[in-house]
Structure 1
Amino acid sequence: MLRTLLNQTSLTIAGIMSGTSLDGIDVAIVRMEGSGLDTSIKLLHFESFSYEAEIREKLKLLCTIENSDVAQVCGMNFAIAERFADAVSQTAAAAHMSMAEIDLIASHGQTIWHIPVADERNPYLPKSTLQIGDLSVIAKRTGRPVVGDFRTADIAVGGQGAPLVPYGDYLLFKHASKGRILQNIGGIGNCTAIPAPAGGMIAFDTGPGNMIMDQVVYELSEGRMSYDANGDWAAKGKVHQELLEDMLAHPYFQELPPKTTGREIFGKAYVASWLASAVERGLPQEDIVATATAFTAHSIARGYKDFIFPQCDIAEVIVSGGGAHNRTLLNMLGALLPEQTILTSDELGISADAKEAMLFALLGNAFIQGEPNNVPAATGADRQTIMGKLALP
């Protein structure tokens, strides 16, 4: 099986993405031709599977030091892998494909903890990262080879292990005459700036994407809602400028790229503290949601103005991820960036929901083809390297 796989130049790959938003599992089955800059990709089928509320809340707890333990991490590593395997099987069935028609599975895994900068006070807390969803479990359940655990290789050569999407962003969206920013808005927001003509990229995590908005909506609705559909709740409120400026004063936004962040900084503890401050000020619920939404929009725009616009001209901002469906958020972003056209990747023929799963399929293809698939300019790595580990069925 492995010898056959390595000799193929055309592969059908199922990319699995489960992001920091903890909303569920995305699976994109794609057809790949070629390798490196000559790679082409075609989406064959996409499915999304929401996590049930219990799993979502357990994962949130795993992403906190206070509420996690080794037994829960150990068990969830296998439990989530079973769900990943089921998601691929169900996606193949929905596409009227047999599992034998899928050459490879590429899995991002579920991030539980990420340490992008070493703790100089503790030699046992070096730069490191942990994504669960055991590769062998997925391989044995599906009967297909699986590539995953990509981030660790980048960290091993001095990077921060994120963002990883610039590799695919460049392949899919480079343009001869237009400078573009690819903005993914999942749990965390990350951007890739591709100057025109396509040259050196700038990429970093802009800060929280949907993470704070979703947690605020969950808390205010007492668990009845997990997100603000279309941004309708935020559209009814007014942004509290003082509270917004307090949020934007967080030191993360002053750090120079390359940089990455996650629930370790902007998770449940951050939201609880911020929400308490908003309630103490007597803000109506719709104003709280509007301010949380504005925080994401302003942090994205500020990142561009501080770190991208001084270095290159940008004509278009192309948004993907769950945030692409939040019309209030996109309207806020458009108002902050009047000189740029705000698009969703759907408008360019790439599904905003499927894009990240497709990009991890690209990383899996590069692994099999023996091509470096990290971008040192984005992650701060010392050199290019081949990211990923292989599990056989």
Structure 2
Amino acid sequence: MSKLAVGLMSGTSLDGIDAALVSIDEDKKMTLIDFETLPIDHEMKAKLKDAMDIGASSNELLCSLNFELGYLFSQAVKLVCEKSHTKLSQLDFIASHGQTIFHIPDGKFKSTMQLGEPAVIAYETGVPVVSNFRSMDMAAGGQGAPLVPYFDYVNYLSDETICLLNIGGISNVTIIPKNASIDDLVAFDTGPGNMIINGLMEAFYDLPYDKDGQIAALGQVNLELLEELLSDEYIHRSPPKSTGREKYGGFFVEDLIKKSKLPKEDLIATLTKFTALAIVCNIKAFGVSKIIANGGGVYNKTLMKYISESFDGQVEIGEYPDAKEAMAFALLGYETLHKRTSNVPSATGARKHVIQGSITYPS
């Protein structure tokens, strides 16, 4: 019997909360019924950036923000259900990734923090909530990321080697060798996605992103700066690896602006090219014949042009470029409720396959 669920995802771009209403059958086949994004307003975005900033964050802010985000995630569930004329009582469960505030994949104590209190979501909707997906993988020695490869494996295994690319704030890939077992997968964050480009657009133009890559298309790529950027140790580090706003966020953008004397358009063009090459150079060694791209970055025509020019194989846009990650967490929640493992140790570095997520029941 199929289950009806809402998957929730808010990524490092901080642009909105994605809500995917899906049905999942016993064979794990998923059908996207409806999708909606609840925008994150300027005030909330500023709070989130402060929470992620070591200098600006505080215990009070984190404590309050956790519950405030819980109400926002609840609104996203109600929004997609209203849009599709679905009653909350029809939902079997909600799977919420939450909002990552800080992620420490290396060091003595690997750790991660996602906010968006599941008890608030469960109470507001009356629906069981699966959340906290990353912690168990980290407890098993993994990096807690990436987690979408399980979804990729279930939906895209084929007789050719393909790369599932997601361009959010950070770019991440899943490499699925032809006819692979789940333990053959390789998945990792390649480096920045939209994050640096968006930061530059906000600083220079007070705009949230480079619409269609129009500004980058006006600029000239500076080869000297590009070479310097591509020498970044993270880009050349072997997987498993994961990163986030703590590396490519505000400090990175501020430092770029401070040091660079390039025209605005040239700087954005160069960082767009850097983002593309960081993706392509990270997958060349795997014999990939096709890239299937998802995430907000697919709408940046200049970024996609740079990727296509740098990659020898086929590049195409996925079936659900906006909804994929929210759908992925719905599948992970489904597996949690069935007491089945859903991490990919070859991607995260975990010592074993584990059941991920915590379950919060409504009153």
- TM-score scaled by length of structure 1: 0.90
Structure-to-structure mapping, 1:268-279, within 5 angstroms: 268-278=250-260
Over the residues paired in the alignment, what is the CA RMSD in angstroms? 1.0
Shift of 1:198: 2.7
1:91 to 57, 65, 80: 80
1:334 partnered with 2:308: yes
Unaligned 5+ residue runs, structure 2? none
Shift of 1:118: 1.2
The equivalent residue for 1:293 is: 272
The equivalent residue for 1:151 is: 134
Identity %: 43
Read off the aligned partner of 2:323 and give its amino acid letter. A
Separation (CA, whole Å) in 2 of partners of 1:372 and 1:106: 15
Structure-to-structure mapping, 1:205-244, within 5 angstroms: 205-221=189-205, 223=206, 225-244=207-226
Structure-to-structure mapping, 1:64-213, within 5 angstroms: 64-119=53-108, 126-175=109-158, 177-199=159-181, 200-213=184-197
Separation (CA, whole Å) in 1 of partners of 2:299 and 2:338: 35
Q: How many residues align?
A: 360
Separation (CA, whole Å) in 2 of partners of 1:289 and 1:212: 9
Read off the aligned partner of 1:18 and give its amino acid letter. S
- Name segments (4+ residues, structure 1) moved above 3 Å: none
1:261 partnered with 2:243: yes
Read off the aligned partner of 1:179 and give its amino acid letter. T
Separation (CA, whole Å) in 1 of partners of 2:313 and 2:44: 39
Separation (CA, whole Å) in 2 of partners of 1:57 and 1:226: 13
Shift of 1:254: 2.2
Separation (CA, whole Å) in 2 of partners of 1:242 and 1:170: 39
Separation (CA, whole Å) in 2 of partners of 1:258 and 1:102: 35
Q: What is the CA deviation profile of residues 324-363 of structure 1, one whole-angstrom value per residue up to 9, with x for unaligned ones?
A: 11111010000000x21000103xxxx1000000000000
Separation (CA, whole Å) in 2 of partners of 1:75 and 1:41: 35
Shift of 1:63: 0.8
1:28 to 6, 20, 24: 20
2:4 to 1, 9, 12: 12
Separation (CA, whole Å) in 2 of partners of 1:161 and 1:32: 24
Unaligned 5+ residue runs, structure 1? 1-8, 120-125
Aligned with 1:44: secondary structure?
A: strand
Read off the aligned partner of 2:228 and give its amino acid letter. D
The equivalent residue for 1:57 is: 46
- TM-score scaled by length of structure 2: 0.97
Shift of 1:288: 1.1
Separation (CA, whole Å) in 2 of partners of 1:331 and 1:72: 41
1:361 to 330, 334, 340: 330
Separation (CA, whole Å) in 1 of partners of 2:60 and 2:328: 32
Aligned with 2:252: secondary structure?
A: helix
